[in-house]
Chains A and B, each alone.
Chain A
Amino acid sequence: DAEITQSPRHKITETGRQVTLACHQTWNHNNMFWYRQDLGHGLRLIHYSYGVQDTNKGEVSDGYSVSRSNTEDLPLTLESAASSQTSVYFCASSEEVGVSYEQYFGPGTRLTVT
């Protein structure tokens, strides 16, 4: 079955370190998204991609970057981790086919920055 996976599931890092969160989908979807989930804020969009070599900033992109070198993967990099980036991160993918627009989510990565 097609799926979307994230790794690691949990990560503790120190302030100032570079961190990369992996996202891999086997749906063959063109669209991929990164969100962060914080109490009281719901899900906020960090970056998104509509295809290989395409990346775009979302609502809360400062301090984050992404790259899309193939259809399956959209890694999220925190350039210099800050305590404010402690959060749960979700990757999602979608494909606009007919009336199918829904996004499919990975299990999440809980990141703690100390």
Chain B
Amino acid sequence: AQSVAQPEDQVNVAEGNPLTVKCTYSVSGNPYLFWYVQYPNRGLQFLLKYITGDNLVKGSYGFEAEFNKSQTSFHLKKPSALVSDSALYFCAVRDYGQNFVFGPGTRLSVLP
């Protein structure tokens, strides 16, 4: 079965600094990978995905993610963090059929 790990429960970064939220995965076959963001009392919002092609994927709100097949990782990055980026971030991998498996989430706090 597919699985996703997010090794950090919490990431703290100062505003203006680069941020990284880590994700590793385990799949059989080609991975389809996704990042979502959840703001308080809201549903999950799609940020970006890797299906095929370039290993560096660009998404919404200035976020990007780097797919690394040899390290089975799909880390989320942003060059300059904003306080408004503070939220809960989920990595997901496509499972059988159209289903997703989600990681446990990483809480990002951007400090002013």
**Which residues on A are within 8 Å of B, measured CB to CB?**
31, 33, 35, 40-43, 45, 48, 50, 58, 90, 92, 94, 96, 99, 101-108
Please tell me if the beta carbons of B98 and A31 are within 8 angstroms of each other in the complex.
yes
Interface of B is mostly: loop
Query: A-B contact count, CB below 8 Å?
Result: 51
Please tell me if the beta carbons of B46 and A104 are within 8 angstroms of each other in the complex.
yes
Verify if B11 is at the interface (C-beta below 8 Å from A): no
Please tell me if the beta carbons of B43 and A105 are within 8 angstroms of each other in the complex.
yes
The number of chain B residues with a CB under 8 A from chain A is 22
Residues of B within 8 A of A96 (CB): 98
Residues of B within 8 A of A40 (CB): 104
Tell me the nearest residue of chain A to B53, going by C-beta: A99
Q: A50-B98, A101-B32 are in contact. Are A42 and B42 (CB under 8 A)?
A: no
Tell me the nearest residue of chain A to B52, going by C-beta: A99
Tell me the nearest residue of chain A to B101, going by C-beta: A45
Please tell me if the beta carbons of A43 and B97 are within 8 angstroms of each other in the complex.
no
Verify if B14 is at the interface (C-beta below 8 Å from A): no
Q: A105-B45, A107-B43 are in contact. Are A33 and B99 (CB under 8 A)?
A: yes
Residues of B within 8 A of A42 (CB): 90, 102-105
Please tell me if the beta carbons of A43 and B45 are within 8 angstroms of each other in the complex.
no
Please tell me if the beta carbons of B43 and A108 are within 8 angstroms of each other in the complex.
yes
Other contacts beyond A42-B90, A101-B98: 15, CB < 8 A: A31-B98, A33-B100, A35-B102, A42-B102, A42-B105, A43-B44, A50-B97, A58-B99, A90-B44, A96-B98, A105-B36, A105-B43, A105-B44, A107-B41, A108-B41
Residues of A within 8 A of B42 (CB): 107-108
